[in-house]
Amino acid sequence: MGQSLEWGRRYLMVRPDHFRIDYVINPYMSTHDQPDPALTLKQWDSLRQAIIDAGGEVEVLAQRGDSPDMVYAMNLGLATADGRAMLSHMRFEPRRKESLTAAVWFTEHGFALSRTGTDGVGPHFESGDAFVFGDSLVVGYGPRTEAEALKHLATEWNVRVRGLRIAHEGMYHLDLPFCPVDSTHAMVYPPAFDTASQVELARIVPDPIVLTDDEAFAFTANSIVVNDTIIMPSCSPRLETVLTGLGLTVVVLDLAEFHKGGGSIRCLTNPLDFPVSAITTPGGELVLPA
């Protein structure tokens, strides 16, 4: 059994006052299937309360009226426990206004900002593709984040970055097929990655919890761990046995309205406490799949 995660106790969330489907940028979205505003807020409130009940803290940011996807706060920027934030540079133009508000919030809360690019210039980076796990910052690239952004992260922050190329359109961010559970365990869905990245994934995760197709597409890996509680949008009986065997309390919430936009619990929560000091290396280091 691994040690508890060092992060995931403080989160930024965006209240879903303007959540809707205005465009289609992933396979889950349809402008003909709109979220119910009252139910959306109820589900969001249940998640916020579950984090607090598990001993976590939640900061709340108001949603821009012109940014319907801003509720997926995981993509606002990569934040660290020592007060740094790498602002996301969204691949799709309709989401880029989110970064304007995120930049103000991070700055006002004492984070020193960095960027891989802005306004479509420079490599795209979306923080839903990045997790601290083991001895590295693990970053997915391909659909949303570009490989050049991984090099930028490694050299700008002097950290070790390990890349995984995502090769499945339904798993467009790393937070869909990969979920750290403790220091050695992670839920993973190998078919989300190309062959070389599947080999690299096996090196990165000592104790993988491999998801079935049904589990993966129920947004199971889009979960969060807060202290000894794992908050999930779905959990099969098989997985519940595995997770409780690791000493975790499983809390399952209905987030179905947010699945209409292609995200769930992890997408709605941005951890503000990634411990990058433990993965610092002079000059940075980038490891891509062979």
Q: Please check whether residue 65 lies inside any domain of the structure.
A: yes
Q: Please check whether residue 27 lies inside any domain of the structure.
A: no
| pLDDT higher than 90, residue 176 | yes
From its phi and psi, is residue 13 left (phi > 0), alpha (psi between -120 and 50) or beta? beta
The CATH number assigned to the domain holding 182 equals 3.75.10.10
Q: Please check whether residue 5 lies inside any domain of the structure.
A: no
What are the tens digits of pLDDT across the range 49-77? 999 999 999 999 999 999 999 999 999 99
What are the tens digits of pLDDT across the range 220-255? 999 999 999 999 999 999 999 999 999 999 999 999
pLDDT of 2 reads: 86
pLDDT of 290 reads: 86
Using CB atoms within 10 A of its CB, is residue 198 exposed (0-12), middle (13-18) or buried (19+)?
Answer: middle
226 sits in which H/E element: strand 224-226
Q: Please check whether residue 290 lies inside any domain of the structure.
A: no
Q: Name the residue with tokens 């209409």.
A: 260
Instruction: Provide the terminal-to-terminal Cα distance of the chain, rounded to the nearest Å.
Output: 30
| pLDDT higher than 90, residue 1 | no
Predicted TM-score of the model (pTM): 0.97
Q: Please check whether residue 79 lies inside any domain of the structure.
A: yes
Please state the domain count of the chain.
1
242-251: buried (b, 16+ CB within 10 Å) or exposed (e) per residue? Answer: bbeebebebb
Distance, in Å, from the CA atom of 26 to the CA atom of 259, rounded to the nearest integer, reads 11
Domain that holds residue 211: 10-18+33-281
| Contact indicator for 52, 99 with CB cutoff of 8 Å | no
Using CB atoms within 10 A of its CB, is residue 253 exposed (0-12), middle (13-18) or buried (19+)?
Answer: middle
Q: Please check whether residue 62 lies inside any domain of the structure.
A: yes
What sign does the CA torsion over 217, 72, 243, 161 have? positive
